[in-house]
Each structure stands twice: as C-alpha cells, then as structure tokens.
Amino acid sequence: MIVVTTPAYTPENFYTAGGISRTYIASGSERWESETTELIPLPGAKVEPTVGGPDAPSYGAISVATFTAETLSEADDDNNVLTLDIEFDGVSGNPLDSEKNYRFASTRPSGPGEWSSHTTIRHFRVAPRMNLGTVPIQVKVSNGRNAAERKGRLGVQNWTLRVDRYNI
C-alpha cells in the first residue's frame, strides 16, 4: 500500500494539489484619500466568502489574496509610507510582521506626490468548518507611524482585490 501525504500548512511553505475552486473579486475606481495614522478599512475593499454549511461542509482551504492599486503617499518632508494589510476574518494574512510594518508605497521626494501602481499578496489557511458562515477578507490602510507631524496623506484609486480559494 502506498500512502501519499502532503506537508502540513505553514505560513512559509505550502502547496495545493488542485486548482482554484473559487475566485472572489471586489474593485473600485474612485479616488479615496486619508490622513489617518490608524489602520482602517479601505471602503469597498472587502469580500465575504460563504464557507461550510450542511450541503457543502468545508474541510479547510487556503485563501490567497492579491491586491493591486494606484496609490499616493505624500508628506510635507517627503518622508511617508502607505501601510497596507489584508485581514482574513480579522487576522492579518501571511507573511506576518509582528509590528504590522506592511509598507505598500512610499513618498517620492521631488515635489508633489505622483500616483503609481503597486501589488501585494497575502495568504491564510481557512480552518475546517461544518456550520455555515462567512470569512470576511478586508484590505486596511494607513499612513506611516509619524505621519501626523509631517502632514502625511495617502490615496488609493483604481484598485482590485482578488481572493482565490484552494480547497485542501
């Protein structure tokens, strides 16, 4: 008898034997700007996949979120960063940073800010679930830590959040 096993999921290394079972997409084109230094939800950048239930129990999955956007990061002293995190059911996706130092875009010195395109990917293991429920996946953004003193400002426009589900 031959037994085939796959390594347990770890945030650093995993693979799936099957293809994408579902894809969820949210997008927006309107310009959104903020001066916040708190990590707050980007309006509309959220999907809420339904998981489990009596007709379709979930034996677990890997969700891979890709976020791409045109961004702006400005400050009076040309020293600011746009921080971005993708949370899966309220928990930061992998790779994890203990200080939530997820730099997505930084200020370009040389005058007024200029919009530029950026992309990031995060992943998360969705635990097995028999009861019907949702797993909200939300993009959150903020200015850098000392942005308030520097009058930091961030902007996001023409963005897409894509979440691919791989059953395991």
The CA distance from 105 to 124, in Å, is: 23
pLDDT tens digit sequence for 116-147: 899 999 999 888 878 888 889 999 998 876 55
Model confidence pLDDT, tens digit, residues 39-87: 899 999 999 988 877 666 677 788 999 999 999 887 776 677 788 999 9
Q: What share of the chain is helix, strand, coil (3-state, %, to 5)?
A: 0, 50, 45
Domains in the chain and their CATH numbers? 22-167 (2.60.120.760)
Question: Is the distance from CB of 157 to CB of 115 less than 8 angstroms?
Answer: yes
Please return the burial class of 24, using the count of CB atoms within 10 Å of its CB with bins 0-12, 13-18 and 19+. middle
* pTM recorded for the entire structure: 0.84
Please state whether 24 falls in left (phi above 0), alpha (psi between -120 and 50) or beta. beta
Eight-state DSSP code of residue 151? T
Is residue 6 predicted with pLDDT exceeding 60? Answer: no
